[in-house]
Chain A
Amino acid sequence: MTVEERTLSMLVNNRPGVLSRIAAVFSSRGYNISTLCVAETINPDISRITLTSSADSDFTEKIKKQLYKLVDVLEVSDFSGPAFLHRELMIFGVKVTPETRIEIMRAIERFGCRIATMSQSYYILESTGSRPENEAVLAYFDPFGVEEMNRTGSVALKKIFEAATPRT
């Protein structure tokens, strides 16, 4: 079976211990969580967890059923693929010299990055995009000397809006 990156989005009760139970569902079955994002929704009693995991096609259905057995899991959706908007935030520091400054400034503009903070010889840049987009940004800047990088996991939403979806 082919292994690919899957995105799962779940709504859970905002209670202590929920995350470790979810993590245990993955680890006890040998699945690695590659990225994980947890935050309250508009309703503070409910959190949304977005996670990505590399797995075969069987994975989503099986893990969904396992997750639904957890008492605090309210909803699990497969947010993989183009019907969903995927975004992650990446910040990274790149070395700047008088020779590379102009090229770096152009690239910042072309990629739609932002300078978050800077000194003469070092910029910390901010890039928002899908994971592959951020990968491309990083690959481009790497030859200039990327010293550090930190990124969030993906967050995702359905692109098509249904009339009466609850605001979570």
Chain B
Amino acid sequence: MGTIGADIVIQILREQGVDVIFGFPGANSLPLNDRLMESSIRHYLVRHEQAAAHAADGYARATGKVGVCLSTSGPGATNMVTGIATAYMDSSPLVALTAQVNTSLLGRDAFQETDIISMTIPITKHSFQVKNIHDLASNLREAFEIATSGRPGPVLVDLPRDILAAQCEPAGPVEETIRNGYKNGSDGREAIERIARALNQSERPVVIIGGGVKLANACDLMGDLIAKTQLPFVTTMMGVGSVNAANGLNLGFIGSHGFELANSIVHQSDFILAVGTRFTDRSTSRIDEFAPLATVAHIDIDPTSISKNIKADLPFTGDAMEAIRTLIPMIEPRDRTDWMNRIAEERTSVEEKVPDRGCGPAGTFIRRIQEALPDDTMAVADVGLNQIWTVRSWRTRTPRCLLTSGGMGTMGFSVPAAIGAKIGAPARSVVAITGDGGFYMNIQELATIRYYNLPIKIVVFNNGHLGMIRQIQNLFFDARYNSIELGEGTDFVAAARAFGIPSSRIRVDNASDEGIEALGRTDGPYLLEAVVDSENFVFPIIPPGRSNVEMIFGQAD
């Protein structure tokens, strides 16, 4: 057996440091699956291709390395689409390998053929369909380069079966390529000097930390900046956990499900230093009423993010790490006692108005879960009320201790992403926190957890409803509840047992320690069904079409 295309794929994956793939095979991917048998790369067989993409994404978020997923052509490839889009929206570096029909069959509607390249153009940074064995190595190398450079994101490589099976020579050394596009420049020192001057003059500054700070590995430096300057800061939801400041400078996260204090202080500020955020509508709500008094300095690696949503008065396009490093020595100390006093006063009044951080018993419950688990536990939130409860209540200690699908809001993300996170960071403890609705979406991955014996904890908040949609119907559709009832039909404890995973059920508002202890104590996987009242919403929230300071605090009925 000489070298074939599949061996080249494995050779390049190894060269790029890949030792794990999440995938699901099919006839067209078999040449590769076959050769993976002898390679040192572990192929984790998930139970649905969407889970392969989410797991690779979770792996990337937990480790900062590129996640790799693999599917067959046609239905396998289309099943990965949601996972690829999720990674795209949160700038998670991913290489998605899809098998394809033989090149001679392309365009003939062959069995299991699909034009996955066209389908994924809007949700990938770039994609390759390898039509010539001589391009295989360079296309794969470029895929990794593109996935990780500048603003990270997913790249798809479509691999026709005959290319995977073709006889060839092993790949040669890396060649220089002349592609443009994904290499990002930097605006230079003057732009940072302008930002520093404006910041030094400001009376009421605030820093907004986006998810890009984590992606740039700039959390420590950002921490230094905050510590040195004593600037108050907020984060976006994706930025939660970037900087660990228990000293009153952290005001929480902004946006439609964010903290009243954070939204209010941003609104009153006269200067914003925003780093690694694209000012999504989830963070800003109405852009015409966002921070009306502030001069906005915006640092981002992606030139298209600057002034896309919020006009940047002082833009800097470039790496956050480099920008912050340049900025720190330029910042002068300044007395801002009035501003800090105002923040302290507001904090006190908000804490009275919004007890339990707006999460009710669910928030308290999440904190008890956290206490029962090791300090370094990563929480992987799903989407819905459970996500907001988690992001608002989890005490974030390190940048990668909270993973969530922010940009896309993909239900079903948490369980497969937790699988990827656990495999990427085996020494850390991982808990997936989900609602019953989201849990149904990838429940089959319990089988993967059991098969590989992954010690993942799962908390399923069972409110019998699509809770967050119920809250929206409650508030904005006159409490006319429709198409949201899941009922109490499923015994999740029995379901978990059916998958071979020990489990128990408790009520959130009357939680005995027993279930929580069992969750913390069990060595292998464990599922805790947490029954929660369907009227347990999250407050405050911002109605659609309103500004960040028009939060509402109670329900309709």
Contact = CB atoms under 8 A, between A and B. Distances in A.
Interface of A: 13, 17, 20-21, 24, 28, 62, 65-66, 68-74
Contacts of A20: 118, 121
B406 to A, nearest CB: 20
B304 interface: yes
B181 A24 contact: no
Contacts, number: 40
A72 B304 contact: no
26 contacts: A17-B117, A17-B127, A17-B129, A21-B121, A24-B121, A24-B122, A62-B304, A65-B303, A65-B304, A66-B304, A68-B180, A68-B181, A68-B303, A69-B125, A69-B182, A69-B302, A69-B303, A71-B125, A71-B126, A71-B179, A71-B180, A71-B182, A72-B179, A73-B180, A73-B181, A74-B180
B308 interface: yes
Contacts of B181: 68-73
Given A62-B304, A69-B304, A13 B122 contact: no
Contacts of A74: 180
A127 B308 CA distance: 41
Contacts of A13: 179
Interface string B125-162: 11101000000000000100010000000000000000
Interface on chain B toward A: helix, strand, loop, or mixed SS? mixed
A87 B121 CA distance: 32
Contacts of B126: 70-71
A3 B468 CA distance: 40
Interface in B250-306: 302-304
A55 B117 CA distance: 29
A27 to B, nearest CB: 9
A24 B127 CA distance: 14
Contacts of A68: 180-181, 303
A68 B302 CA distance: 11
Contacts of B180: 68, 71-74
Contacts of B122: 24, 28
Contacts of A65: 303-304
B478 to A, nearest CB: 33
Top 9 A-B pairs ranked by shortest CB distance?
Answer: A71-B181, A65-B304, A71-B126, A65-B303, A24-B121, A71-B179, A70-B181, A66-B304, A74-B180
Contacts of B118: 20
B539 to A, nearest CB: 35
A71 B121 contact: no
Contact of A62 (B125, B142, B146, B308): B308
A70 B153 CA distance: 13
Nearest to A21: B121
Given A71-B182, A74-B180, 15 more contacts: A17-B127, A20-B118, A20-B121, A28-B122, A62-B304, A65-B303, A66-B304, A68-B180, A68-B303, A69-B182, A69-B302, A69-B303, A71-B146, A72-B180, A73-B181
A17 to B, nearest CB: 6
B184 to A, nearest CB: 9
Contacts of A66: 304
B311 to A, nearest CB: 10
Nearest to B150: A69
Interface string B100-134: 00000000000000000110011001110100000
Nearest to B124: A21
A62 B305 CA distance: 10
A71 B181 CA distance: 4
Nearest to B305: A65
Nearest to A67: B181
Interface in B440-497: none
Contacts of B302: 69
Nearest to A68: B181
Contacts of A21: 121
A62 B180 CA distance: 18
A25 B117 CA distance: 15
A146 B127 CA distance: 46
A33 to B, nearest CB: 16
A28 B142 CA distance: 25
B264 to A, nearest CB: 30
Interface string B178-215: 01111000000000000000000000000000000000
A21 B124 CA distance: 11
B182 to A, nearest CB: 6
A70 B183 CA distance: 10
Interface string B519-530: 000000000000
Nearest to B117: A17
Contacts of A69: 125, 181-182, 302-304
Contacts of A71: 125-126, 142, 146, 179-182
A21 B117 CA distance: 10
Contacts of A73: 180-181
A17 B146 CA distance: 17
A21 B119 CA distance: 11
A65 B127 CA distance: 19
Most A CB contacts (10 A, CB to CB) among B117, B127, B180, B303 go to B180
A24 B120 CA distance: 11
Contacts of B304: 62, 65-66, 69
A65 B304 CA distance: 6
B213 to A, nearest CB: 21
A72 B181 CA distance: 7
Name the residue in A28, A65, A72 with the highest tally of chain B Cβ atoms < 10 Å from its Cβ. A65
B402 to A, nearest CB: 28
A73 B181 CA distance: 6
A62 B303 CA distance: 9
A20 B118 CA distance: 8
A74 B127 CA distance: 17
